């Protein structure tokens, strides 16, 4: 589905990403975890074509991309950010906005809106103004909007960090049930290893712009690690 080949990114003399090599299979669920400033969100931005690396190549579905990314490729990509970034309109209109831009038939748009709002437990809020929602409700609507587009690959950057504990735990539980059934290739960035463990089958530990470990989450808890990675993981082991 997606491959990073010798990706490096520098801003001035500062190294943001340092020689990243990574391959993601279609349908896989991958978490990227690490301390602040480790490069995890920067890697997500490069993989999702939001930023261009200084050197290296991104290969998406067998095609190499170095410059302008075609709209046909961008439409295969879904994004969910820490802040929901909802439009100042109803919940229904927010979820349907991207579908209308793609020219889908009205009946299919309405069906997808209802389906994904119900799956994320906010179907009863369909007619409500999005800007009046709680943080947890808004993020559920943001996720419904992303999944309604049926992306082939979905990137999530710290989607739970702005939520209080009850909203976070409830959304994590629901997403853990929903994700495996979609077969959508998913990359989730978090500073919290427990989120990665609950939602993904493969975890990358980022330290100082490099992938310091790449293994199933359970293996990172039980396996032998380098001293630097073990120091980061000690909070969860």
- What CA–CA distance (Å, rounded) separates 132 from 128? 8
Closest to 153 in 3D by CA, of 58, 56, 39: 58
Report residues of the chain scoring pLDDT below 50.
none
3-state SS class at 70: coil
**CB-CB contact of 92 with 145 (8 Å):** no
- Whether pTM > 0.75 for this model: the answer is yes
Closest to 235 in 3D by CA, of 219, 224, 220: 220
Residue 185 has a pLDDT of 95
- Beta strands 2-11 and 77-80 are unpaired
Question: Which whole-number Å values give the CA distances from 15 to 6, 40, 45, 55, 191, in the listed order?
Answer: 14, 13, 15, 12, 20
7-21 pLDDT, tens digit per residue, is 999 999 999 999 999
22-43 pLDDT, tens digit per residue, is 999 999 999 999 988 899 999 9
Residue 236 has a pLDDT of 80
Residue 156 has a pLDDT of 94
Which residues are 11's β-sheet partners? 14
Residue 223 has a pLDDT of 76
Residue 111 has a pLDDT of 95
Residue 67 has a pLDDT of 74
Whole-number CA gyration radius for the chain: 18
Residue 235 has a pLDDT of 80
């Amino acid at each position: 589905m997606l491959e990073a080949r010798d990706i490096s990114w520098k801003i001035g003399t500062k190294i943001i990403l340092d020689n990243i090599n990574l391959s993601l299979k279609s349908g896989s669920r991958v978490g990227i975890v690490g301390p602040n400033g480790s490069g995890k969100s920067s890697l997500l931005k490069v993989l999702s074509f939001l930023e261009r690396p200084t050197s290296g190549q991104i290969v998406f579905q067998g095609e190499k991309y170095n410059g302008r990314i075609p709209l046909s490729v961008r439409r295969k990509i879904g994004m969910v950010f820490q802040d929901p970034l909802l439009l100042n309109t109803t919940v229904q209109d927010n979820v349907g906005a991207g579908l209308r831009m793609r020219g889908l038939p009205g009946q299919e748009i309405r069906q997808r809106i209802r389906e994904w709002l119900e799956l994320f437990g906010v179907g009863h809020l369909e007619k409500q103004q999005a800007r009046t929602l709680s943080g947890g409700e808004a993020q559920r609507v943001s996720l419904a909007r992303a999944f309604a587009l049926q992306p082939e690959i979905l990137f999530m950057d710290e989607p739970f960090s702005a939520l209080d504990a009850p909203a976070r735990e409830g959304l994590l539980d629901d997403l853990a049930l929903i994700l495996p059934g979609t077969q959508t290739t998913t990359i989730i960035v978090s500073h919290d290893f427990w989120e990665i463990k609950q939602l993904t089958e493969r975890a990358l530990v980022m330290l100082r712009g490099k992938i310091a470990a790449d293994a199933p989450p359970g293996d990172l808890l039980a396996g032998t690690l380098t001293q630097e990675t073990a120091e980061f993981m000690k909070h969860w082991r």
